[in-house]
Every structure is written in C-alpha cells, then in structure tokens.
Structure 1
Amino acid sequence: MPEMPEVQGLVEFLRGRITGLTVAKAAVSAISALKTYDPPIDALVGSAVTGVNRHGKFIDLTAGGDIHLVFHLAKAGWLRWYDALPTTLIKPGKTPIALRVGFNDGSGFDLTEAGTKKSLAVYVVRSPVDVPGIARLGPDPLDASLDRDAFAALLAGRRTQIKGVLRDQSIIAGVGNAYSDEILHAAKMSPYALAAALTDAEIDTLYAAMISTLTDAIEAARGKPPADLKDAKRRGMRVHGRRGEACPVCGDEVRSVFFADNSLEYCPTCQTGGKILADRRLSRLLK
C-alpha cells in the first residue's frame, strides 16, 4: 500500500508536471471506484490545474480553483504516468485501469488497481473535507503542530498496542503497515507495547524515530517518477517485507506475525528482548 512518503512523491511529481495544464479528459472505467456524483467528473474537463496536495494518503488535484479530484490508492492501487497518453479504448471490466485523466499537452495518467478486491476510491468534490476519510484524519506526522508534546498527548490514555496507534489514520495521518514497522524498529520498540504505558524516554525515542524514518523516506522518494517509487520503498525497508533476512542492525533474523490480511515484521533482538512473538494464526501471543 502506498503510504505517506510515496504519496508525497506522487504529489510532488504531479505538481511539477500538471500545474497550469488544462484537463482535457477525465473518464472512469471502474464505476465502483467513483464515490461521488455531484459535481460530475466531467466538471473537471476544461479547467486548469491550480494545485496538487496530500492529505494523509489521499491525493488532491485542484482544477479551476474550486473542484477537487481526490483519490486514495488503497492497498493495490497505483498511478501510471504517460508523457503521451494512450488513445486505446478502455473496456470496463477488462482492464486494471479505474480512471484515466488527460491534459491539453497530451500527457496524462491512469489509476490502476491489481487484484480482485477493489478498494481504490475516487471523489470529485468542492472541498477536500467533503471526503469522509479526509474529514476524519488526525494530524500529519511531519506537521510543525505535531511536536513531541502533542505526540505524547495523542498517546496518553490509549491502552492500545502502539503498532495499531501508529496505523490509525484518525490519530496520525499517513503512516501504514510498512512504515509503522520501520518506525518501531528504529525506536527499538515492540509492536505490542501499550501506548499509554510508554515512559517519557520511550516517547522521546519513538517520536524521533517517526520523524527521522518518514523524513528519510520522503527524501528517498523525492524526484523519482511513479514507476520507480515502489522499488525505492522496498529498498529502503529494514524489516518490513524482509522476513527471514538478517536485521541490518544486529544480524538477528527478521520475524513476522501474520493477521487475516496483512503481517508485521520485527527484529526480536532489537525490539522484544529476544522474545519471539507468536503467530496469531495459532491464536497464541507471547508478550
């Protein structure tokens, strides 16, 4: 799933290429992806792009100053950029393409989604807060307002595992499964540590790990075209997606815990005092 650093990379890429261009085409080929009907998607056509921004994991393309094309790539979605947009006809149900947007210079992009579970979402709205997912977002982790004390306040009283807190978009916007693994590894913290039980020193460490991990990932994504962002993300991961490999810090084997539709990765030596967290598929948990 694209998370904050990759989404920011896409935003900066689009901002540098389409700001000032006029939308010449906007066509939905997966009707289930379009979540709104007013304004209609055709309202984008003929309008100049005035901005491209990010809200958590949502991308917000502003056209004409008052219409927003907002999309969320979900778990298996991606943006495919073309300097020259293909002219081939898109057949609904016969292609992974959910949305095609073209501009007056001939360039454009497709939003694609792999797999059978379709979660990619497209909205055409007059304000980003009209998108329910955006209206519910917590603060951006790199926003100046989220300093160490504000971060501590978000954790206070939450008797929830810190892994889940970092992933909860209503608490902190933009961090998902991959970067929560990376942040916790950098902080040398168990994913099962309770947020409310963290000491001041642990909060200091976790906050610093969050800032440094996300800042470094954004720098790694910056300037790369969409086709290269996924590989850049994979190369930057120390534990996420690296089950069975050696931890780059201590050399211990990276382990996984599997859930219904995802998994987490961690280093026992760095994060859990050498303890192995039991696979939840076995309905057991070692703490």
Structure 2
Amino acid sequence: MPELPDVEEFRKVLESCAKGRLIQRVDVRDAGVLHEVSVRRLRHALEGRRFGRPERHGKWLLAHTDDGLTVMLHFGMTGLLVCGRPGDEIEAHDRVLFTLEGDRQLRYRDQRKLRGLWLADDDSDVVRLLDGQGPDAMAVDREEFETALASHRGRVKTVLTDQSVVAGLGNLLADEILWRAGLSPTGRANALTEPERRRLYTHMRRTLRSAVTAGRVPPRDSWLTGHRDDPAPACPRCGTPLNRSRLASRTTVWCPHCQPDGS
C-alpha cells in the first residue's frame, strides 16, 4: 500500500514530469476511478491548462493547475503515478492519462481502484476533500502529536494508522516506528508515558526521513520491514522470533523481546 514516502515520491514524479507543462489531452480509460467529477467535466476543466507545483498531505497528492483547480489523487492499495511518453505501450491498469507538451505523459495506474481522482474547484474545495485528515506526519510538531496520542484510548498501532489522528502512516511504517521505539503495538495510546510519547515521535521523524529519501519503506536488513516476510522472521536487533497477528484488520509484526507488552 502506498504510504507517505511513496506518495512523496509520486509528488516528485509529478513535479519533474508535469510542472509548468500544458495539458494537451486527458484520456480517461476507466471512469471508475473518478469521484464527484465526470469524464467530460475533467477533460473540459484541465485541457489547455498547466500543472503547477504539486503538494502532498499524508497519502493525498494535490496536483494544482495554473488557474486554481486541483486534481486530488489518492492511491489506495495499489495506485501509482508514472511518467512516460504518449507512444509508450498502455498498461492494463492505466486508468487516466494526461498528455503534456514536450512529449510527456503522466499516468495514474491502479490495479484495484480502491480510491482515485477528485477535482477541487478552489482552496475551499481542497479543504472539504481533506476534511477529517489529521496533520501530515512529516509536518506535525511534537506537542500536537503527543496531545493526540494522549487523547485516544485505542491501541497505539491503530491510533498511528488512523488518518484523522496523523496523516500518512500506514501498516509498514507503523510497525517499523513502534519497533524502533521499543513499544508494543497492542498498548493503549493514552497509557504511554511522556518519555514514551517523545521517543515515539523522535523515531517517527527519523524513520520518515529515511523512508522519504529511499522513496518507499525500504526492506533493509537492519529494518524490521526487511524481515517481516521472511519464512522464519526474526528481529534484526536481538534475533528473537517475531510475533505476527491481526490488529484492526492489519497484519502486525513486532518483537516480543524488544517491544514487550506494558512497555
């Protein structure tokens, strides 16, 4: 599933491929990925305009145009944003194609089509579509983060992946951050001590910086992520066999030694 680092990488793709370029044609190959906008309206609104500087909030990508419109993209479980040329072979899951001046083509590609594209008419429409999203995980300050944790009774893994609490963290990132912080995913968020909340914030920021640099949550040998899918997964820190369970319908992996219950 695309998480904050993946979407930040898509933002870079959009900026390098499309920023400042005229949108010559919009081809919607599957209208099932459009939300609150018709094919005709999307084409009429975008063709002849230019993409501006894109932004990201959590897992959302905001593709602004030069006249105040914004294409809002969410990648669900399997979405991608790729840059190519109009003559490139069309893939089976290419849903929307933006042909740009300079022989460029931006493609929204998604296998499962769980989310898709919205068109915001102005800033207030952007705010409406992002309503319910918490602060971006890369931008939230420590005080706001700690206050949010202290006010939620849910399990800390569930709270971290709740986009209304903090936007951008998904399953892999939450497991990685909790492992680095030495905190059990099953503990209650509001039961964390102040030092634990601060430790969690510090490791969230460090993990995000590394993952954004890599353009994904990297499966490195020194990371929990690099071992969660091993045949016999073991903690890269202490060698203890990893626990695996379902928490809030998500596969959760943790080290019972490094992340003991009640820690």
Q: Same fold (TM over 0.5)?
A: yes
Match of 2:114 among 113, 116, 119: 119
Q: Distance in 2 between matches of 1:75 and 1:237?
A: 25
**Residue 140 in structure 1 maps to residue 136 in structure 2:** yes
CA contact (8 A) 1:78 1:113 kept: yes
* AA at the equivalent of 1:233: P
Whichever residue aligns with residue 158 of structure 2, its letter is G
How much has 1:13 moved relative to structure 2?
2.7
Q: Give deviations 1:74-124, integer Å, cap 9, x for gaps.
A: 011112321x2236678xxxx322211111111112222224xx3031111
1:233 is matched with 218
Decide whether aligned partners of structure 1 residues 258 and 150 sit closer, same or farther in structure 2, where only a CA change above 3 A counts. closer
Runs of 4+ in 1 over 4 A off after TM superposition: 87-90
> Are 1:66 and 2:77 counterparts?
no
Q: CA RMSD in A?
A: 2.5
Give me the whole-angstrom Cα distance separating, in 1, the residues matched to 2:241 and 2:90: 49
Q: How does 1:169-208 map to 2 (within 5 A)?
A: 169-208=163-202
User: For residues 200 and 87 of structure 1, do their structure 2 counterparts lie closer, same or farther at Cα, with a shift above 3 Å needed?
Assistant: closer
Shift of 1:133: 4.8
Deviations 1:241-274 (A, max 9, x none): 435322211112223113685311111111126x
Q: Within 1, Cα distance between the matches of 2:59 and 2:124?
A: 14
Equivalent residue for 1:14?
Answer: 14
Change in CA separation of 1:233 and 1:111 when aligned onto 2, cut-off 3 Å: farther
CA pair 237-167 structure 1, distance change in 2 beyond 3 A: farther
Matched with 1:224 is: none
**Contact 1:181/1:266, CA 8 A, preserved across alignment:** yes
AA of the residue aligned to 1:239: L
| Structure 1 residue 266 corresponds to structure 2 residue 254 | yes
TM-score by length of 1: 0.81
Matched residue SS, 1:80: strand
Gaps of 5+ in 1: 222-228, 276-286
Aligned length: 257
Letter paired with 2:177: I
Q: Which residue, out of 236, 243, 246, partners 2:234? A: 246
SS in 1 for 2:157: helix
- CA-CA distance at 1:181 after TM superposition: 0.6
Identity %: 28
User: Which amino acid in structure 2 is aligned with residue 3 of structure 1?
Assistant: E
For structure 2, the 5+ residue unaligned runs are: none
TM-score (normalizing by structure 2): 0.88
- Please name the residue that 2:23 is paired with: 23
Given residue 135 of structure 2, which amino acid in structure 1 is its aligned partner?
P
Aligned-residue offset at 1:9: 1.5
Indicate the SS of the match to 2:20: coil
- Distance in 2 (CA, whole Å) between partners of 1:187 and 1:112 is 35
CA deviation string 1:208-242 (max 9, x = no partner): 11111111111222xxxxxxx5xx63448822443
